[in-house]
Amino acid sequence: MSIINQTDKGTGSTIRIRFDFRTIVPLLSAVLTLLVHLLVPNSPRFTLKPLPYFTIALIAVIIITFIFMVLSLFSQKIRDRFAYKSWFIGASIFLINLLNIATLKLMLLPIIYFPNPDRILKVFVDDWAFILKCLSHSLRLLATGYVLGALAGMITGILVGWSKKWSYWVNPLIKIVGPIPSTAWVPIALVSFPTSFSASVFLIALAVWFPTTVLTSSGISNVQNSYFEVSSTLGAKTLHKILKVALPAAAPSIFVGIFNGTGASFITLMTAEMMGVKYGIGWYINWQKDMLSYANVYAGLIVIAATFSLIITLLFKVRDRVLGWQKGVIKW
């Protein structure tokens, strides 16, 4: 890291500029990728019309990385974060460069199954409205099943963790039904429910229910008895003990169960959409695969990765807000 001190002639104050060489790595990688894309000729076997989307995307990346590099000169917070992630960003851009070389410049991979980045970006330009429609269907289905599963899991976990009678009857059911993957119930669910949407809601709720139930009951059963003794001394009733003592103390375990259910819900959502639900990103990918439109398949995978990563990030933000005293223990 180099430090440059400059004096403002108007105010006489000293401006300290700090440059970290790592912040230039993404910019150099993007510039190299653009030069290769523009200067290296396409394979003679590539007969499709050239597209401008990859060039436009690279120019946008160059502008964004340059802005962040300039901002990092004056802001330590931006510099630390950007420098920390710079090698990963640069390597990701370089891998895209290698993919472009292998698919467009040399055609080392079958063009049907491995389209070049320009073809994938073209899908977002031409088909963005339909992709958003499919994404909205997936999010509606995921949200409905996820909320129902989380609520059912928390209620079941509270009953099992608090009451020995409920634990006696429900625990065997949890041990028998819970370990079965929710995707294994797809054939039965599709014939048991009136619509594929309701069947998929049930499958997603089941995927979230099991880990949420297990972790909630475990968290409540492990709350120290001294907490309940103090609350009893103060005249607390059973409902107050559950809501004000047991649940807050078990909150870390409950969130772990919800996070485990989140990953299972993503898998179940994609499986359900590929096997029976009309519309949705999973259905879109399966449909485009049958049409041999693998550029659309990769576009769908990119949408899935971005959406699910955003959902998990938001869940961790909620967790950090609710459990501020545990912030930083689990990171995403």
Reply yes or no on whether the pLDDT at 332 is more than 50. no
Counting Cα atoms < 13 Å in the Cβ hemisphere of 189 gives: 24
- Bridge partners, residue 6, by sequence: 15
The gap from C-alpha 300 to its chain's centroid, in whole angstroms, comes to 14
pLDDT, tens digit, for every residue of 31-49?
999 999 999 999 888 877 8
The predicted model scores a pTM of 0.83
Q: Are 45 and 108 spatial neighbours (Cβ–Cβ below 8 Å)?
A: no
The angle subtended at Cα 189 by Cα 185 and Cα 195, nearest 5°, is 150
Give the whole-angstrom CA distance, residue 147 versus residue 138: 14
Which amino acid, one-letter code, is at 331? Answer: K
pLDDT at 97: 94
pLDDT at 196: 84
Q: Please spell the DSSP secondary structure of 217-277, one letter per residue.
A: HHHHHTS-HHHHHHHHHTT--HHHHIIIIIHHHHHHHHHHHHHHHHHHHHHHHHHHHHHT-
pLDDT at 57: 95
Give the whole-angstrom CA distance, residue 212 versus residue 256: 8
Domain boundaries, the chain: 2-114, 127-326
Reply yes or no on whether the pLDDT at 186 is more than 70. yes
Query: pLDDT band at 272, cuts 50/70/90?
Result: confident
Q: Which CATH class is domain 127-326?
A: mainly alpha
Reply yes or no on whether the pLDDT at 219 is more than 50. yes
4 burial via Cβ count (<10 Å: 0-12, 13-18, 19+) = exposed
Q: What average pLDDT does this structure show over 272-293?
A: 86
Share of the chain above pLDDT 70, in %: 92
Reply yes or no on whether the pLDDT at 118 is more than 60. yes
